[in-house]
Amino acid sequence: MMSWFIGHIIAVFIGISLGLIGSGGSVLAVPTLVYIMGVPPKEAIAVTLVAVGSVSLLGVIPHWKLGNVRLKTAAVFGLSTMIGAYSGARLATLPFMSGTLQMLIFGTTMLLAALLMIRKTSKAQTSQDLKTVIEQYSKPVCKYCWLWVMTEGIGVGMLTGLVGVGGGFAIVPALVLLAKLPMKQAR
């Protein structure tokens, strides 16, 4: 009973994280559900998809009012992400995809993300801001950048459908770097 209480307190902070920086929901919710609240991995992933999706839907309201939502980009990225998420969720139902394997993929993804962030941070100068980093990022080779956005959406969606993560920590960088959205509009 105490673990459920602690889990719900952590959930409040997860929601605050989602509202402030647009990410962290699934990355924090899946381990909280599995390791603190004792929910089996497959169920935790499904719960996370619904919970984080609902919180994100509520979080878009203030951004909509401020004019930070680009419908065309949201439609292209959102629809491709939904296709990927459906494919990832179907993959998660295959007999060989156990809850343990899903958690292994989850952990590997988090470790890889952490290593990439540490590597980028150690290489970047401390005075260099995000805008400078984005300007130095090489543009996609194609002249139809929406294809890059769609491809990234499918990849992020597959990861999200398979292990319940990838949303904020992959979507925000993809929209900033590939769709060239300002950070306020991407999150």
In one-letter notation, the amino acid at residue 59 is G
What's the confidence (pLDDT) of residue 96? 92
Q: Closest Cα partner for 52 from 171, 183, 151?
A: 171
What's the confidence (pLDDT) of residue 183? 64
Say which residues have a Cβ less than 8 Å from residue 76's Cβ, sequence separation at least 6. Answer: 146, 149, 150, 153
What's the confidence (pLDDT) of residue 44? 84
Chain centroid offset of residue 5 CA? 26
- What are the boundaries of each domain within the chain? 2-186
Helix (H) or strand (E) holding 12: helix 2-21
pTM: 0.65
Q: Residue 37, SS3? A: coil
On the question of pLDDT at 168 being above 50, the answer is yes
State the pLDDT confidence band at 127, using cuts at 50, 70 and 90: very low
In one-letter notation, the amino acid at residue 161 is G
Tell me how far apart the alpha carbons of residues 92 and 100 are, in angstroms, rounded to a whole number: 11
Say which residues have a Cβ less than 8 Å from residue 142's Cβ, sequence separation at least 6. Answer: 148
Q: What are residue 157's phi and psi, to 5 degrees?
A: -65, -40
